[in-house]
Structure 1
Amino acid sequence: MPGDGASIAELRKALQATQLHLYEIRNDNRRLKRDNALLKAKQPTQAWASAIPKEVIAHDEEIGKLAKKYGIMVDMSLASDDLRKLIIEEWQDQMGFEQQEHFPCAVCSHSNVRASLLRVHASSIYLELLQNPCLPRATHPTTYDFQLYHRAFLDIRALKDVTHLGHLELCHSCHHSLVNYQKQPLDAIANFQYYAIPELPLLVSADWDNATLYDTSLVSRASATKLSHLFAHKKDSPLYGSNMCLSQKYIRGNVAVMPQDSVHLRTVLPPDGAEIANTMCALFVGWNVKPTRENVAVLWPVFVSKRRVHRLIEFLVANNVWYKIAGVSFSEGNLDDLYPEVENSVVEAVPIAVEICQLDSDQGADATTANYTAQRDMHPDIMDGTELTLTTNPAMDPLVMDAIGYTSGDYTPRNLKVMKAKALARVIDGGQFLKMQSGSHFINNQDPGLLTYLFSNLDPWGIGGFNEPNRRPNQRISFERQVRNLLRQHESPFQKDPHFAYVCWNIIQKAEVNKNTSFTITQRERNSILDKMQSVGPLLTNMIAAWERNPNTQPSNWQQKQALKLLQCLKHAAKDLKGSFGYKLCRRNEIHSLIKHFCTPALFLMSNPADIFNPLLGVVAGLTPEQWADMTAFERGIFVANNPGPAAIFFDTLIKVFLSIVIRYGRGAGLFGTCLAHYGVVEAQGRGSLHCHMLLWLKGNPAPQDLRDHMSAGDGFKTLMFTWLESIIHSHLPGEEVLHTETPGEALHRPPRDAHVADPCLNDEPKSVNMTNEDFALAFRQTVRDLAIECNWHEHTDTCWKHLKPGEPRDDQHCRMWIDGSTRALTDLDEETQSILLRCLHPRINNFTDLMLFLFCCNMDIKFIGSREAAKALVYYVTDYIMKSSLATHVGLAAVLYAIQQNNKKFQGLQPAASTVNKSLFTKTVNTIMARQELSHQQVMGYLVGGSDHYTSHKFKMIKWQQSDKYIVNHFNASVQDDISSHSVQLEDDGNLTEPENELDVDNNVD
């Protein structure tokens, strides 16, 4: 930038004339040289520029002249045609099918992208390190030459030659351990993480493949879940009356997983009918007639095969290490008792011990399981243009188990709040109830046989348990690490099991609760909370009923106020536990710290990656793009439901690449400008898939008051700001610059897609490197148009009304998405509030960014934060939205009451120390509340396999305010006789601690 006075005066004059808000940035030579080199390699052409609105080019030209003249970079500028093309090419290169295809490591079997694997010859590593002499001979691999490979336990899929010593593929971690340190990697399958599934006898292997969940339950030594199949008759479904498995518009054959309070061991298999009734349940929603064994006999998920159960039990008793040690025996009498005498000859039927329940369908159930995708995936004939074809036996059509899982209690599709409160109140008041069988022998979580006791289908030989006693000290790994290893194995059967991840997550969370309540909460705080619990305990039943009748009830007396304070304290107590209310509050505090540091964010984005459409998910899970394209929408739904691990990895990959390539954080200007900071929060929607809400702070974005002042001062800045906003936020179809209007009361309907035209979300987007610039510009515009119609054309669904109070109308004015059919021809300022009113040419197209829609191929939303009251409202909405709790007041109070009752029962007749009772009650209460947090299968998988529940550009340091306050109080109390004004608090300066530039301080104390 020229330093003479005349140049500075000239610059000031130009700024005042245009009212343009400019910011000078630091000169990062390395970054600028890199980006300039990339841009120079991509020469712009007139054809590509023709895809950019003329206003964008004019805007860039005006800003470019100023930037060139004065040698500074101007922010809030529009993405140039060069940059847009660069973003597309980088995205398509990194997200290509070949780049994202996953393969296993030969040693640990973890799934990795091909580029991250190293190909080495088997002779170059010490294979003897991968032996395990403790494993039975019957489990030794026969799929490759085991002796030739020095009796090393390897994943055959990573071997290039199974009959000769050849190359194999290793991940960097395993290669580093074997080559650099010459020791067995902790994550190696040879470290008791090998399960010999291919070595099962053929008939036994077939039985496991065909076993229903109820078959598996009958042959397992222990049960940690109560299985609930939900069959819903949805009268509003186009498929109603055709097939039970396909007519569930929202509740798609979900399995609610509910670990019991204790796990008990069985020594006789199958268990007797009384126990089965307490571990097996089928829940029917919306049936006009009461379901019975007879009229549900066509539903294969509740079938039990006598022959299959008999053979599997015989195999386990004869071959499973832990079954043999325990002396487990088979009871043919128990198996025969599961069926009426007349059906003893039946090969497969519904056991008489299965509990069958019925609930009426209601709008509440629809709303609480609705989501942004409008469940289009449930209608294959609508989505793919294919005709619905059912098998000759409707009972054998696949049932999707894509569930929101719950970790405790008995649940219904109504988000499970009302039923839980009623059930607990009924029990406490002495009403009749069904008690889950608890057994007389409890299993410690450290029991090495726990895995095969609970999941004999996953560890049929009993050779890969947690805390395996045969592991040497240098081989030992934690429970959590082994769970992560098993879920990360390539095409892992553990991640496909509908219960495994939930049960393991429940165990991990309980351990974290115990640690959290023992070490992070002071005894004084704990005692204070417990005193409040004891004072309001006798009144909780009435309070639960009151808040269940009206969730918006305001506390009317001292006891109710104390109960609410108590609930808040308990929810905050678990702030270090992922998924808890306190944990979410910490995330909100982090956003607040970014706002304090960088001022108001510029943009709010919502991205909803379509897992059931994007072929990349199929590639990550092991399918080819052709196999994915040949599947119907319903088949893809089944596939995604059965592969929550790859779904979580797919989502995590997509968000990280978006931040790196599109936002370009730390790489200079991105699609929206230069990003100073970002914060994204992940949420699960109705059917369990994930989406992300993200805030962006952009360099050059004025503070709300500054923005208002610049807007009011003149038309120069206002025009440029409007042009920038209209370039990134579209609410009309590409190529249509005219205003669309609706007839009052008649919403425009989405144009029907021809039955022979493929869904645009499934199509492979045009590749710029394979096309001329003219052809790509046309293809880009058409693709964005098709996607906008398919993904961002809003039609009201139950999710639009999920927050309505009883009696409120379901109309445009009450849509929570704020799409009410209104339009606006030009962007302007609200005369009263000075808020920006963005143009809206189409009444039903939700906001989108053309380039994001093109790359993500899914539903999205974008909003400018703006100024004044609109900015405050949106920031409050976003920060409040991300920490919304799934725990209603009456459910939380019911959890407190349940914990009190259980703790009293635990110490009944004993005389333990008061501190022991108090600690037990506090831990049990936090555990009970945590158990009622709703998590989808993909969320749990994200936690366990390494995904994230939030994405942020900065690190945060928590200020221990209590410690600081205590120090100050003690210091001044000791100096009360001194002149306080002459004292200063000296904090120790640790020269070894250096804070990174982008690390913020945030107060995450939530008491």
Structure 2
Amino acid sequence: MHRGTFERDARLLMTITVEKLRRAEQEEEQKKPISDAAVRLLRRHIQATAGRVIGSDQSRYCLRSQIWSTSVMLNPPSLWLTINPCDLHDPIAQVFTGENINLDNFVSTLGPTKDVRAKNIALDAYAAAKFFHFMISTILRTLFGVTVTTYQVHSETGVFGQLSAYFGVVESQGQGSLHLHMLLWLKNAPCYEEMECRLTYPEFREDVQKFIKNNIRAYLLGFESSDSIKDIPNEVEVAYSRPPNLEAADYNEQIQVLEKRITRAKQLHTCEFCRCLVPSKTGALKCKRRAPFPRSQDDYISENGDWGMKRLHEYMNAWSPAISINARCNNDIKLLTNSKATSNLSYYITSYQTKKQGRNFNMSAVMAKGFAYHTQTTSYLDDLRNRQRLLIFRLVNTINREQELAAPMVMSYLMGWGDTYCSHHYANIYWSLFSKHLGDVFPQFHLTRERGVTSGKDGSKSEKEIDLCLEKAKSDVETQTSDTDDVVILEVDDNG
């Protein structure tokens, strides 16, 4: 509101009436764009303000710049991972709810029963949230080999090799349980140009195939068809167990049996209406998970970056063996080769990872209710700026009251666990400050705000001098952040 353009915006916001918001409500119900310019402007201001409200959709959009800035610093991500811990049946979750379970000498038949376990989790949102964050933190530390301190990122060799960074976003499902979408950056992974070159070498493709075979699976013996899978018992409560003992003589045989039991119960996809089947543009139902999945007789990767794992049954989701065996939960994993074939996939995954949460209210209708209250209680304010400031404040709080958050997610915010897992710290650098810094260092140049380019006094532009300016600014920024391993974000404001 301290911007010079807000005075103009405030006068346009003064033209809003309850009738205009009711019209916008009808347009939103019909999934049409808002026609009134003043209402559109009000929504933009509210979205900008709500970006500072924890858990809001707008705050999740801000995470995208952090993910993209990590890709700028460390090359594009290498792996996409989804982890869905099973809070209903995992004995660790029941210990957090207060159940007396001996995990050192675990016997699944001693109880509590399936119904009691579900009731315990439903009544104790704190235990559900604590279990989720305990599992994710343990996976990051033990399976991925990454330990994050205040100023450093310590990375050891994990199940995927050595990681240079990770970024995960927590999301709640319809039943309220939490799951995680995460991007992983492998250390020393090739950049886009280098990957395009290396994929032409058979030796490199063989190494990638070995990586896929060890870490990304969609087939085990017995998963050839729907008929063969029916012969394998479906153990719904398979998570109510503990991983095999590493010191057991038959450890390898035990994990093979456990992996088959878990993948049979957790990784077989079944298309159901209102869960994954959604109507297409033509009116036909299609699976939003893109099932049936493509089948393949072997793990493969081509020169153009197309890849796949061995899959004989078209409804088997991919999984990471290490996560399935140790966490005993549903998970998904994809390889991002950073080639032309997966560049669009990386952008889609970034957008999907930070997508807004589902909601069942009409935003324009909520705004109309809050606006009606505002017009009745602001007659004592004569200053235009203060009236509009109060309007935005009230509407943001009105919308925030209608925001739907699962109880475990609320507990995550209250306990300070948050809704993100990231290995690095981030700092915002706005374009206006960046251009001012360039002007202070190089007074002979000025930045034209209209085009966002560097020009000389006579209007000429020297590419070499521009590069020198940018290198100088980058050097200064790196000097300030080198001790904290921060990743710098460049955000462009409304003026370019």
Q: 1:837 to 1:562 in 2, by over 3 A?
A: farther
Ranges in structure 2 where 5+ consecutive residues have no aligned partner? 147-153, 448-454
Deviations 1:877-933 (A, max 9, x none): 22111332247798222333333222101124x354333322211211222232333
Match of 2:354 in 1: 883
How big is the shift at 1:819?
2.5
Q: Select the residue among 60, 64, 70 that pairs with 1:588.
A: 64
1:819 aligns with 291
- Relative distance call for 1:825 and 1:638 in structure 2 (3 A) is same
CA distance in 2, matches of 1:940, 1:689: 12
Name the SS of the counterpart of 2:311 in structure 1: coil
Q: Tell whether 2:345 aligns with 1:865.
A: no
Q: CA deviation at 1:567?
A: 2.2
Equivalent of 1:625, from 76, 84, 101? 101
1:938 is aligned, of 408, 412, 415, to 408
- Matched with 2:489 is 1002
Instruction: Report the Cα distance in structure 2 between the residues aligned to 1:989 and 1:728, rounded to whole angstroms.
Output: 41
- Matching residue of 2:452: none
- Residue pair 2:80, 2:183 contacting (<8 A) in 1 also: yes
* Superposed counterparts of 1:382-531, under 5 Å: 522=2, 524=4, 526-527=6-7, 529-531=9-11
Deviations 1:641-678 (A, max 9, x none): 11111211111111111111111122421100110110
1:778 aligned onto 2:253:
yes
Aligned to 1:766: 244
Range 862-871 or range 789-798, more displaced? 862-871
Q: How much does 1:869 deviate?
A: 4.3
Report the TM-score, using the length of structure 1 for normalisation. 0.42
Determine the C-alpha separation between the residues in 2 that align with 1:723 and 1:529.
59
Residue 150 (structure 2) aligns with: none
Of residues 418, 433, 436, the one that matches 1:948 is 418
CA change 1:865–1:716 in 2 (3 A) is: same
Q: Distance in 1 between matches of 2:355 and 2:477?
A: 39
Find the counterpart in structure 2 of residue 719 from structure 1.
206
Q: Do the aligned residues in 1 keep the contact of 2:291 with 2:315 (CA within 8 Å)?
A: yes
Matches within 5 A, 1:837-916: 837-886=308-357, 891-908=362-379, 910=380, 912-916=382-386
Distance 1:867 1:994, change over 3 A: closer
Q: 1:728 to 1:525 in 2, by over 3 A?
A: farther
Q: 1:706 aligns with which of 194, 206, 210?
A: 194
TM-score (norm 2): 0.82
Cα shift at 1:979: 7.4
Instruction: Output the CA distance in 2 between the equivalents of 1:568 and 1:784.
Output: 49
Secondary structure of residue in 1 paired with 2:333:
strand
**Are the structure 2 counterparts of residues 879 and 531 from structure 1 closer, same or farther at C-alpha, using a change threshold of 3 Å?**
farther
Alignment partner of 1:959: what SS?
strand
Kindly report which structure 2 residues correspond to 1:966-1005, keeping only aligned pairs within 5 A, or say none.
Answer: 995-1004=482-491
Q: Provide, for residues 347-387 of structure 1, a one-character-per-residue CA deviation record: whole Å limited to 9, x for no partner.
A: xxxxxxxxxxxxxxxxxxxxxxxxxxxxxxxxxxxxxxxxx
Name which of 224, 242, 255 aligns with 1:740. Answer: 224
* 1:683 equivalent among 166, 171, 175: 171
Which has the bigger relative contact order, CA under 8 A and spacing at least 6?
Answer: 2
Superposed CA RMSD:
3.6
Task: Give unpaired runs (5+ residues) of structure 1.
Answer: 1-520
User: 1:821: Cα distance to partner?
Assistant: 5.2
1 CA distance for matches of 2:44 and 2:238? 46
Whether 1:753 and 2:241 are equivalent positions in the alignment is no
Q: 1:973 to 1:696 in 2, by over 3 A?
A: closer
| 2:427 equivalent in structure 1 | 957
**Structure 1 pair 799–870 and aligned structure 2 pair: CA distance change class (3 A):** farther
CA change 1:594–1:893 in 2 (3 A) is same
Does the 8 A contact of 1:740 with 1:842 survive in 2?
yes
Offset of residue 989 of structure 1: 7.6
* Offset at residue 564 of structure 1 (A): 4.1
Question: How has the CA–CA distance of structure 1 residues 667 and 777 changed in structure 2, closer, same or farther, with 3 Å as cutoff?
Answer: same
Would the alpha carbon gap of residues 867 and 992 (structure 1) be closer, same or farther in structure 2, given more than 3 Å must change? closer
Moved more, 943-952 or 877-886: 877-886
- CA–CA separation in structure 1 for the residues paired with 2:194 and 2:436: 40
SS at match of 1:861: strand
More strand by share: 2
Residue 13 of structure 2 is matched in structure 1 by 533
SS of the aligned residue for 1:647 comes to: helix
Q: Deviations over 1:378-428 (max 9, x none)?
A: xxxxxxxxxxxxxxxxxxxxxxxxxxxxxxxxxxxxxxxxxxxxxxxxxxx
| Partner amino acid, structure 1, of 2:80 | F
Q: Is the 8 A contact 1:585 1:1006 kept in 2?
A: no
Cα distance between partner residues in 2 of 1:997 and 1:571: 31
Q: Which amino acid aligns with 1:580?
A: S
User: In the alignment, is the contact (CA less than 8 A) between 1:607 and 1:693 conserved in 2?
Assistant: yes
Q: Distance in 1 between matches of 2:205 and 2:479?
A: 49
- Give secondary structure in 2 for the equivalent of 1:1003: strand
1:946 counterpart SS class: coil
Show CA shifts across 1:59-89 (max 9, x none): xxxxxxxxxxxxxxxxxxxxxxxxxxxxxxx
Cα 1:732–1:646 shift into 2, 3 Å:
same
Name the SS for the 2:190 alignment partner. coil
Query: Match for residue 276 of structure 2?
Result: 801
**Given that residues 75 and 191 in structure 2 are in contact (C-alpha distance below 8 angstroms), is that contact kept between their aligned partners in structure 1?**
yes
Partners of 1:991 and 1:861 in 2: how far apart?
A: 36
1:917 to 384, 387, 392: 387
- Match of residue 609 from structure 1: 85
2:151 is matched with which residue? none
Identity of aligned residues (%): 22
Query: How far 1:728 sits from its partner (Å)?
Result: 0.5
> Contact conserved, 2:429 with 2:489, CA < 8 A, in 1?
yes
The amino acid that maps onto 2:266 is: C
Q: Is the 8 A contact 1:780 1:854 kept in 2?
A: yes
Distance apart, 1:830 and its partner CA: 5.9
1-structure distance, mates of 2:396, 2:233: 51
- Cα gap change, 1:528/1:673 in structure 2, threshold over 3 Å: closer, same or farther? farther
Q: Which of the two has higher C-alpha Rg?
A: 1
**Cα distance change on mapping 1:877 and 1:991 into 2, 3 Å:** closer
Matches within 5 A, 1:152-231: none
CA–CA distance in structure 2, aligned partners of residues 758 and 907 of structure 1? 58
Contact 1:547 1:890 in 2 (8 A): no
Secondary structure of 2:402 counterpart:
coil
156, 161, 166: which is aligned to 1:668?
Answer: 156
Number of aligned residue pairs: 464
Q: How far apart, in 2, do the equivalents of 1:569 and 1:887 lie?
A: 21
Are the aligned partners of 1:835 and 1:867 in contact in 2 as well (CA < 8 Å)? Answer: no
